[in-house]
Each structure stands twice: as C-alpha cells, then as structure tokens.
C-alpha cells in the first residue's frame, strides 16, 4: 500500500474550502508509536467495504458495538482488532483521523507493521 502522507500531499481537491483542504491534507494524528517507512496503511472504511460481516463481528468482540466511529476506541484494542481482522499479529504505530473526500464522513487511517518477537 502507498504511504498515506505521499498520497495526501499529491492530490488536488476542487470545490472545497481552505479549511476542508487543510483537514484532508493534514489529518489529525491521534496516536503514534514508532512509525517507519516500512509500515502498512489501511483505512477504516476499507475494512468495512472489504468484509462487512467480519468487520462487524470483530467490532462486537473488541468494542461491544458495530459502529464505524473509531475516535473513542483505545489503541490497544484497535491493535487487537487489526490483528484479528488481518489474521496476523500487528503492532499499531499510528492512528490518523480525517474524512472521506467523497462523502465528508470521518474515517481513520491505521499504520501498522507485522509484529516481531521483540515487539
């Protein structure tokens, strides 16, 4: 997957105000823990689109609900969720909150790497 920072810094948005453009280009970092260039990036809305049944099932398991808002979810639980969803142990390195440019709805961007024995 492409690095999210490169992706956000290269596209142009028409019809949006300066404030909207700033929010999209500079998502709010809500959690950070040892990011690196080798990290993988996944978007919260894509997790739902890829497999809504699995998404909701794991949301119930880890968070007790099926919501698509991640702002009140703890990084440790998100890391466990991603490990279950991706079926491999991962270390969450960053969470960013931004918006879907098509809908305006909030989305979250998760950076992670595969866990190693020393993580």
Q: Per residue in 1-25, pLDDT tens?
A: 444 444 444 344 444 444 444 444 5
For residue 48, being part of any structural domain is answered with yes
Which structural domain range is residue 69 located in? 4-114
Report the 10 Å Cβ neighbour count for 46: 13
Mean pLDDT, the chain, integer: 83
pLDDT tens per residue, range 62-88: 999 999 999 999 999 999 999 999 999
The number of CA neighbours under 13 Å toward the Cβ of 114 is: 3
Number of structural domains in the chain: 1
pLDDT value of residue 117: 73
For residue 38, being part of any structural domain is answered with yes
Q: Could you tell me which of 49, 119, 57, 66 has the C-alpha nearest to residue 88?
A: 119
- pTM for the full predicted model: 0.76
36: left (phi over 0), alpha (psi -120 to 50) or beta: beta
For residue 77, being part of any structural domain is answered with yes
For residue 62, being part of any structural domain is answered with yes
């Amino acid at each position: 997957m492409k690095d999210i920072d490169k992706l956000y810094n290269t596209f142009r948005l028409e019809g949006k105000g300066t404030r909207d453009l700033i929010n999209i280009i500079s998502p709010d970092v809500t959690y950070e823990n040892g990011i690196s260039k080798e990290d993988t990036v996944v978007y919260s809305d894509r997790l739902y689109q890829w497999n809504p049944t699995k998404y909701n099932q794991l949301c119930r398991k880890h968070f007790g609900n099926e919501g698509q808002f991640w702002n009140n979810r703890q990084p440790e639980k998100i890391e466990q969720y991603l490990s279950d969803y991706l079926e491999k142990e991962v270390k969450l390195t960053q969470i960013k909150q931004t918006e879907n440019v098509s809908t305006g709805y909030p989305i979250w961007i998760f950076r992670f790497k595969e866990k190693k024995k020393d993580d």
